[in-house]
Amino acid sequence: MSTQSPPAPADPGISARRLRLLTLILATASGVCVANIFYSQPLLELIARTYHTTEGSAAIVVTVTQLGYAAGIIVLMPLGDLLENRALASRVLVVTAIAAALASVAPSLASFLVFSVLLGFTSVVAQIVVPVAAHLAPEDQRGRFVVRVMGGLLLGIMLARRASSLLADLWGRRSVYVVSAVLMLIMSVVLATTVPRRTPDHTDGYRTLVSSIGHLIRTEPALRRRAVLQAVMFATFSAFWTSIAYELIAQHHLSQAQIAIFALVGAAGTGAAPIAGRLGDRGLGRPATGVVFALAAVAMAIAGLGDHSLSVLAGAGILLDLAVQGNLVLSRQEIYQLRPDARSRINTVFIGSAFGGGAIGSALSGLVYGHGGWTGVSTAGVVLSLIGFGLWSGSEMVRRRNATTSPAA
């Protein structure tokens, strides 16, 4: 059994001004790293043409990138509780840059898929830096600074598609990955020269560390519940954004530049973060979770009506992104209170589950779009959202029943 020391307090030598700067740096790093997972979504039609394959086959790129990310969460993320965080993040980013550079010159779909897996695997730095913010901030301000770093992550998710479409329109599909490689190298240097060193207390080795993840899953029901719910929510999110480019090109005849503008609607989802944070602080996280799943179901139902209306599709995208980001913030608020000494491993379970669900949603979307078009995708999204709502309802019923029958009640 691992022996854990009490969590280290925030560094008293960090001034308020420097802490704000570090928060901005960590938010930027998180955003540009997680963006790698979503660059390919609006490029699928171009990827299909480049490698002379079908749209359904091209959609596999999104799936394998997310699976690579989920694998990175499982394999690399726990190291945040074992190795010095600054060195870990900056060195992994060098490998991310290499993966992006190789993806930009991939001669075949098979090689592009391999490099996409590696790109997703190493982009896990986006999650490594979030717990760093929690450790740097004073305890009474921790939530505020974590939300700020998460704001960068959310912006990276939302703006990645717009940046990807815009770069592809200006300089071609390969330029997206060239720019990514340069950004990864820049962030590696910035993190290595600005972020304070932080060596975790865990000293029992990687095998013990990884095995303790199973213990966390078994002993923390809130973590299990939140991981499953986020997986379902992210599956809905990925289903929508994986196939939307096909719909925008086939039915609305948009160019890559116009798709970039459409993708900007997703940035509105970041507005859910502070609202969800305040609801969680007031003890309303559980009922708010039911609301966001209902909102996701409504969004996908509206999306099904958007065959001939861009404004309807845009409205659906905004509602869906609000739901996804709201659930992400509500979930992290709850799970980060469970074990301060194990935040990286908690993140491993939570984000690994989320992107596993996202990979399933992407694969399902490509399959369904090929057979049922956009109507099939939107229907699948409604079903997924209702499954999430049902799981939330079931967990609430169990909680209330236990509260009623508890001897302390």
Could you tell me which of 382, 390, 259 has the C-alpha nearest to residue 316? 382
Q: Which amino acid is at 160?
A: A
The pLDDT assigned to 255 comes to: 78
Dist. CA 145–CA 151, nearest whole Å: 10
Tokens standing for residue 372: 């049922």
3-19 pLDDT tens trace: 444 344 445 556 777 88
Nearest to 266 by CA among 306, 301, 316: 316
CA 365 → CA 92, 198, 211, 254, distances in Å?
31, 41, 34, 20
Kindly report the CA angle at 70 between 28 and 60, in degrees rounded to 5? 100
Tell me the CATH architecture of domain 16-405: Up-down Bundle (1.20)
Interval 85-137: pLDDT, tens:
888 999 999 999 999 999 999 999 999 999 999 999 999 888 788 777 767 76
Task: Summarize pLDDT for 222-273 with one digit per residue, the tens.
Answer: 899 999 999 999 999 989 988 887 788 878 888 777 777 776 765 665 565 5
Q: Which stretches in the chain have pLDDT values below 70? A: 1-14, 134, 137-144, 201-204, 263, 265-284, 403-409
pLDDT on residue 105: 95
- pTM of the complete model: 0.72
Question: What is the per-residue pLDDT for 295?
Answer: 93
What SS3 state is found at 282? coil
Residue 151 · residue 329 · CB < 8 Å: no
Q: How far apart are CA 308 and CA 312, in angstroms?
A: 9
Predicted pLDDT at 143: 61
